[in-house]
């Protein structure tokens, strides 16, 4: 009898556990599948910026867009197709053949104005490649090359006899080339070279079917007098956002409805409809969708923290957030999470909660990205968390007359770099500079809301060559300030008010060693350092020259600075034998990459200035050449192909001296060089022209080493407590180097950032296939042994040196998404040490994600199955109560026997 009762109890417990598992069956899904769209978002633009050409294809419900070709500016070479109904991007194609972005142009033609049922469109680039594409999917049908295309490509589509379709392409030799639209074969040429002369050229205007004969084509052209080879055009006029393209997609007189697509010069594309209702003739306007095509030309981005209360928060925002973070607000937020969870699981309860997550605010996930596009003269604020992530919160138009724009956020380097540079601030204020030849227009804005705190315009005497950020307490309109260094060495304070001048003076007096700035001249190829000083006579700030470094015979191609917001966990690395390898942290260091100005005609005699002198008949060695593991081949006495042609220069911007110089040979100077500085690491990529592969160079900077017993209670090494950039001996680092090979072309580099710098840093690599990869820093370690690793090296996690870095899908943050290559990567920290936010931009696609370099040790994952855990816990509690009651009944029953 007792055995039967025990079996029944066991069956009850098993049944309850099975029921709880069935209720929470969502837990069997793969983690990567659950994370898709939860930790990241992606925005796909048309890629071409402001719309210049629009064609509507009602047959497929697609609107085809591209930018307007001009003779003075290049085009993006992107043609895109969007759904008319919702504006979603169906396809996007790069229709150019030249990889150089400074020499691209294209033209597009779909058909006649009344040809809405066409199945294909046609493109031609400035190289002369004519292509045919399907409108539905953007698939390539055929491609043909004509002899020479015009500088500003043009083509038309026309029909002859109502059946045969031809593509007419303007060539550079005053010819009009006709191709069969179905096969791409050249069928005829029309020349107008006899009509021109005395510096004239033909401007083809249109190619139309003849109205008098079905077998004839009407061609219209004009003669243009060429003065300087170009026709000057200016797309931007007065400030504002005027309409560039207006396309009528639908117009019905019977229904009184009209659908219009508008494209503005700043890249805003809007599809809206006008409809009259009732007898009163009231017109209702309905916006169907809006796309910001200007996001394809972003140059910089700043991710601001909108999670916690700070001194920059507005009063009303403080009250609202304080209420939500209170105990009552937290309980309400947790109840809304429960309701939302039940709604998601069963669809029984509707969740109409406001888009506010206590968890996201507490963990610092609520960020706003300020995005700047100099091409369209606009700045946006984008949400990166919550239900509206990826949406535009605000936008501001910048002056069109400006030559360049810049966002200033942060302050000068800290006096002590014990735990990093700390040049960042937690302020939400951003100083936006719009610099023209004679003035600087500035705006001080709240980067989370787009509110303009103050703005003004300042006259300048010469072009601005450097911006020095300054931040401090200011009771006026803006706490974020800057000092502008002019080409004539003049200094301009922005904002130009009394309080900001007092702030700069305070910075000068507070800093014991002074305030410094520098100028990088890419024309003269030199770096010059200046000290900011104040003259009491005229109460002005002046720049006094301190140091100069000239790279004669070389061209500066890349300049990189240390990350201002980076925190350093420790100033030393503990080795396997318990010795300390001291890190070299110089907040004033910059990396200047130079290449030979004339590498084709360079001789060993002229290059010898960059090499050490030959000793005892040995081969020459480049200055700053690293140990084995670098990519520098032995010198060749028979030719100059092995002589170094790219140099990595570590320059101190205070003293203007070169701290270290590393050289590489056979570098393809036409390919992009990417550089990132993290703590005491310098990581850069380049293309080896000889091996035709991408190589990653790594330099680690050190001050020295302390032996295992060199730092005890009774022994202390002799270490200087101060650092001076003017000390030639103490300011130079000890450098270790290694070179690795990467299987893809690299377009951008970055590094993950965490709150305290305790988590391991991963290197972010954007490749040419559109992937965003993360690589463990230990894989790129310069101390990886060439042979078998020793026991001490294994304790550190060092692996034997392998030149090729393997490609793995586990390294990709973009998983299976298809993106165009990113040209910039930034990272920001959260309130959790394990989490890092990564943002890739600089191309047609934008990608934002959250990653954990050392896994999520301080937070539950987003895929944590709360339903399964809750139901299992409840099931166990119920089972215990049932078993307890059954045990009491059994005991009572046995007592009556």
Share of the chain residues as helix, strand and coil, in percent rounded to the nearest 5: 15, 40, 45
Confidence of residue 83 (pLDDT cuts 50, 70, 90): very high
Among candidates 212, 132, 214, 196, which has minimal Cα distance to 169?
132
Give the count of beta carbons closer than 10 Å to the beta carbon of residue 879.
18
Among candidates 107, 223, 118, which has minimal Cα distance to 168?
107
DSSP code for 733: P
Give the model's pLDDT for residue 57: 78
More confident residue, 791 or 725: 791
Backbone angles phi, psi at 112, to 5 degrees: -70, 165
Q: What is the enclosing helix (H) or strand (E) of 514? A: none
Mean pLDDT of the chain: 79
Give the model's pLDDT for residue 804: 92
Is the per-residue pLDDT at 338 higher than 60? yes
**Residue in the structure block whose two tokens are 């402001």:** 50
Q: Lowest-confidence range among 71-75, 431-435, 484-488?
A: 71-75
Find all residues with CB under 8 Å of 234, minimum gap 6, and list them: none
Handedness of CA 454, 459, 460, 463 (dihedral sign): positive
- Enter the tokens of residue 868: 């399964």
Coil vs helix vs strand at 210:
coil
- Enter the tokens of residue 779: 């894989």
More confident residue, 4 or 273: 273
Confidence of residue 35 (pLDDT cuts 50, 70, 90): low
**Residue in the structure block whose two tokens are 């022209």:** 689
Confidence of residue 115 (pLDDT cuts 50, 70, 90): low
How large is the average pLDDT for residues 62-67?
Answer: 89
- For the chain, percent of residues with pLDDT exceeding 90: 35
For residue range 488-540, what is the model confidence (pLDDT) as tens digits? 999 999 998 888 888 888 878 776 677 899 999 999 999 999 999 888 888 88
> Does the domain formed by 41-224+243-296 have CATH 3.40.640.10?
no
Give the count of beta carbons closer than 10 Å to the beta carbon of residue 652.
23
For residue range 118-138, what is the model confidence (pLDDT) as tens digits? 789 999 988 889 999 999 999
| Region of 624 on the Ramachandran plot (φ > 0 left; ψ -120 to 50 alpha; else beta) | left
Is the per-residue pLDDT at 751 higher than 90? yes
Handedness of CA 244, 250, 252, 256 (dihedral sign): negative
Pairing of strands 526-535, 762-767: unpaired
Determine the straight-line distance between the first and last CA of the chain, rounded to whole angstroms: 13
How large is the average pLDDT for residues 356-379?
Answer: 87
More confident residue, 616 or 503: 503
For residue range 222-271, what is the model confidence (pLDDT) as tens digits? 555 444 433 333 334 455 666 677 777 777 766 778 888 888 888 899 98
Is the per-residue pLDDT at 849 higher than 70? yes
Give the model's pLDDT for residue 693: 92
Which whole-number Å values give the CA distances from 38 to 338, 385, 668, 806, 868, in the listed order? 18, 10, 40, 28, 19
Give the model's pLDDT for residue 424: 64
Give the model's pLDDT for residue 70: 58
How large is the average pLDDT for residues 748-770?
Answer: 91
Give the model's pLDDT for residue 896: 74
- State the Cα–Cα distance between residues 800 and 802, nearest whole angstrom: 6
More confident residue, 631 or 862: 862
- State the Cα–Cα distance between residues 204 and 191, nearest whole angstrom: 11
∠ at Cα 197 (193, 199), nearest 5°? 120
- State the Cα–Cα distance between residues 33 and 39, nearest whole angstrom: 11
- State the Cα–Cα distance between residues 341 and 518, nearest whole angstrom: 56
Q: Lowest-confidence range among 209-223, 822-836, 846-860?
A: 209-223
Is the per-residue pLDDT at 570 higher than 60? yes
């Amino acid at each position: 009898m007792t055995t039967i009762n025990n079996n029944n109890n066991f069956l009850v417990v098993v049944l309850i556990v099975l029921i709880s598992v069935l209720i929470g069956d969502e837990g069997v899904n793969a983690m990567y599948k659950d994370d898709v769209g939860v930790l990241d978002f992606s925005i796909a633009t048309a890629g071409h910026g402001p719309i210049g050409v629009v064609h509507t294809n009602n047959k497929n419900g697609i609107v085809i867009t591209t930018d307007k070709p001009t003779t003075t500016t290049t085009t993006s070479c992107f043609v895109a197709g969007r759904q008319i109904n919702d504006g979603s991007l169906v396809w996007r194609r790069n229709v150019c053949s030249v990889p150089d972005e400074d020499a691209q142009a294209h033209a597009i033609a779909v058909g006649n104005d009344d040809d809405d049922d066409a199945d294909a469109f046609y493109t031609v680039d400035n190289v002369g490649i004519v292509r045919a594409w399907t409108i539905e999917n953007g698939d390539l049908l055929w491609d043909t090359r004509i002899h020479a295309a015009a500088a500003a490509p043009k083509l038309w589509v026309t029909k002859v006899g109502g059946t045969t379709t031809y593509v007419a392409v303007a060539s550079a030799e005053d010819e009009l080339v006709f191709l069969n639209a179905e096969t791409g074969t050249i069928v005829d040429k029309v020349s107008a070279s006899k009509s021109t002369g005395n510096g004239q050229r033909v401007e083809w205007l249109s190619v139309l079917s003849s109205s008098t004969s079905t077998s004839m084509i009407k061609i219209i052209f004009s003669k243009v007098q060429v003065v300087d080879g170009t026709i000057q055009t200016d797309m931007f006029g007065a400030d504002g956002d005027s309409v560039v393209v207006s396309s009528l997609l639908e117009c019905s007189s019977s229904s009184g409805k009209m659908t219009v697509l508008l494209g503005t010069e700043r890249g805003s594309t809007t599809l809206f409809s006008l409809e009259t209702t009732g007898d009163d003739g009231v017109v209702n306007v309905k916006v169907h969708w809006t796309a910001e095509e200007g996001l394809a030309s972003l140059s910089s981005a700043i991710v601001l923290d909108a999670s916690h209360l700070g001194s920059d928060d507005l009063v009303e925002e403080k009250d609202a957030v304080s209420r939500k973070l209170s105990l009552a607000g937290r309980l309400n937020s947790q109840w809304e999470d429960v309701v939302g969870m039940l709604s998601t699981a069963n669809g029984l309860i509707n969740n109409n909660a406001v888009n506010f997550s206590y968890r996201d605010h507490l963990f610092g996930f609520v960020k706003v990205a300020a995005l700047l596009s100099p091409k369209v003269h606009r700045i946006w604020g984008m949400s990166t968390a919550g239900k509206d992530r990826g949406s535009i919160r605000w936008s501001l138009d910048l002056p069109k007359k400006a030559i360049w724009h810049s966002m200033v956020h942060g302050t000068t380097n800290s006096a002590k770099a014990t735990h990093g540079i700390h040049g960042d601030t937690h302020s939400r204020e951003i100083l936006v500079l719009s610099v023209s030849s004679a003035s600087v227009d500035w705006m001080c804005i709240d980067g989370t809301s787009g509110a303009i705190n103050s703005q003004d315009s300042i006259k300048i005497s010469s072009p601005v060559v450097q911006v020095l950020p300054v931040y401090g307490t200011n009771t006026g309109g803006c706490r974020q300030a800057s000092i502008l260094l002019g080409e004539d060495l003049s200094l301009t304070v922005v904002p130009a008010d009394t309080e900001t001048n007092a702030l700069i003076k305070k910075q000068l007096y507070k800093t014991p060693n002074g305030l410094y700035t520098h100028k990088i001249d890419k024309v003269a190829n030199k770096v010059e350092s200046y000290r900011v000083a104040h003259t009491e006579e005229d109460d002005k700030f002046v720049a006094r020259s301190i140091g100069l470094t000239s790279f004669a015979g070389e061209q500066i191609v890349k300049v990189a600075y240390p990350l201002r917001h980076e925190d350093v966990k420790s100033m030393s690395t503990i080795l396997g034998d318990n010795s300390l390898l001291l890190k070299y942290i110089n907040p004033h260091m910059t990396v200047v990459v130079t290449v030979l100005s004339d590498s084709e005609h360079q001789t060993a005699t002229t290059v010898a200035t960059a090499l050490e002198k030959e000793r005892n008949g040995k081969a020459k060695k480049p200055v700053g050449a690293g140990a084995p593991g670098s990519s520098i081949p032995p010198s060749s006495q028979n030719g100059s192909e092995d002589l170094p042609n790219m140099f990595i220069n570590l320059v101190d911007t205070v003293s203007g001296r070169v701290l270290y110089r590393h050289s590489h040979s056979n570098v393809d100077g036409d390919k992009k060089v990417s550089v990132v500085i993290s703590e005491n690491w310098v990581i850069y990529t380049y293309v080896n022209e000889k091996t035709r592969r991408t190589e990653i160079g790594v330099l680690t900077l050190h001050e020295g080493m302390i032996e295992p017993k060199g730092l005890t209670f009774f022994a202390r090494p002799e270490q200087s407590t101060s650092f001076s950039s003017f000390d030639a001996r103490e300011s130079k680092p000890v450098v270790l180097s290694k070179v690795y090979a990467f299987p893809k072309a690299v377009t951008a580099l970055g590094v993950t950032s965490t709150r305290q710098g305790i988590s391991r840093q991963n290197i972010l690599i954007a490749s040419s296939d559109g992937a965003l990869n993360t690589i463990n820093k230990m894989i790129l370690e310069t101390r990886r042994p060439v042979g078998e690793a020793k026991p001490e090296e294994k304790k550190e996690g060092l692996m034997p040196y392998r030149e090729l870095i393997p490609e793995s899908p586990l390294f990709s943050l973009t998983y299976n998404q298809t993106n165009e290559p990113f040209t910039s990567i930034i990272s920001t920290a959260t309130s959790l040490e394990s989490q890092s936010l990564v943002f890739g931009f600089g191309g047609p696609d934008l990608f934002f994600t959250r990653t954990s370099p050392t896994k999520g040790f301080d937070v539950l994952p987003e895929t944590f199955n709360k339903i399964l855990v809750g139901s299992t816990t409840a099931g166990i509690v119920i089972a215990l109560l049932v078993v307890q009651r059954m045990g009491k009944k059994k005991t009572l029953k046995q007592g009556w026997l």
